[in-house]
Structure 1
Amino acid sequence: MTKFESEIKKVSQSDEKIFKFISDFNNFESLIPQDKIKNWQSTEDTCKFSVDGIGDAGLRIVEKQASTTVKYSTDGKVPFNFFLWIQLKQVAENDTRIKLTIKADLNPMMKMMVGKHVKKFLNMLGDAIANYGGY
């Protein structure tokens, strides 16, 4: 398994509000880049979408630990299997730090091809969560 981690992001919200938001895929459509992701469909626990240049993909929530962690896994036909999790740590009132991690089952060639893109995606999603104003 190959591990990718985002930078630690600061969110000016409580861990409880962020947890509630990231525990429901219906909230994610506002975070994704509309120019890269198409055909978004979601329920609370699953989502399906198309990624330009990659194809169809899906995710499902596989574990929730109140106000600390949400874990996601691939769902359906995807180019490679991976787990994504978002960790939350509240350090003060309305000051929560988040870190996103992906563990992916990649062969060395795939790692070279997608590694930079995965890291960029993690930081982009982390920034989107940190800067989202609708909590």
Structure 2
Amino acid sequence: MNLESPKISVSKPSKDVFSFLTNVKNFKSLMPENISKFEVLNEDEFLFALKGMPEIVLKKKEAIASSKIVLGAAGGKLDFSLSGDIIETSHSSCEVQLKFSGDFNPMMAMMIKGPISKFIETLATNIPKSV
């Protein structure tokens, strides 16, 4: 299953947005209002939970300077990744698009498609407010 957020314009240089997204503690400010738990485990991992959902641990898997960051599931039963593509549009602005990719059975995919779509859209729309 592959899902994409809308492209979000950010009035900051791509370098600043990349720096913000590579610091896992900053993801707390991007989370939806219904977050019930957020905990930084180390400089590359954080745990979060939304009300009514299981805890998820995300780990920084890849970082390409000023253009891409990839987070992936750290253990657990679900294998997925969340990548952030940062596209420079000028010296002082960029666009960010989040992409979710996971391999789920059809029943699971049907159940989580809506909540995951809303989740990545919320993360993306909170980036300009937080950077």
Shared fold by TM > 0.5? yes
Counterpart of 1:51? 50
Contact preservation (8 Å) 1:73, 1:82:
yes
Q: How many angstroms apart in 1 are the aligned matches of 2:39 and 2:32?
A: 11
Among 109, 122, 128, the residue aligned to 1:111: 109
Please, what is the CA RMSD of the aligned residues? 1.5
Counterpart of 1:75? 74
Counterpart of 1:125? 123
Counterpart of 1:31? 30
Counterpart residue type for residue 128 of structure 1: N
Contact preservation (8 Å) 1:5, 1:100:
yes
Deviates more, 1:111-120 or 1:6-15: 111-120
Q: How many angstroms apart in 2 are the aligned matches of 1:26 and 1:32?
A: 11
Among 85, 89, 92, the residue aligned to 2:90: 92
Q: Which runs of 5+ in 1 are unaligned?
A: none
Q: How many angstroms apart in 2 are the aligned matches of 1:73 and 1:53?
A: 21
Distance 1:81 1:106, change over 3 A: same
Counterpart residue type for residue 76 of structure 1: G
Q: How many angstroms apart in 1 are the aligned matches of 2:4 and 2:32?
A: 20
Q: TM-score, normalised by structure 2?
A: 0.92
State the Cα distance separating 1:39 from its structure 2 match.
Answer: 4.2
Counterpart of 1:10? 9
Give a deviation string over 1:42-84, Cα, whole Å, max 9, x none: 4321001223222121000011100000001001325x21011
Q: How many angstroms apart in 2 are the aligned matches of 1:8 and 1:31?
A: 15
Counterpart of 2:39? 40
Counterpart residue type for residue 50 of structure 1: A
Number of equivalenced pairs = 131
State the Cα distance separating 1:130 from its structure 2 match.
Answer: 2.1
Counterpart residue type for residue 97 of structure 2: K
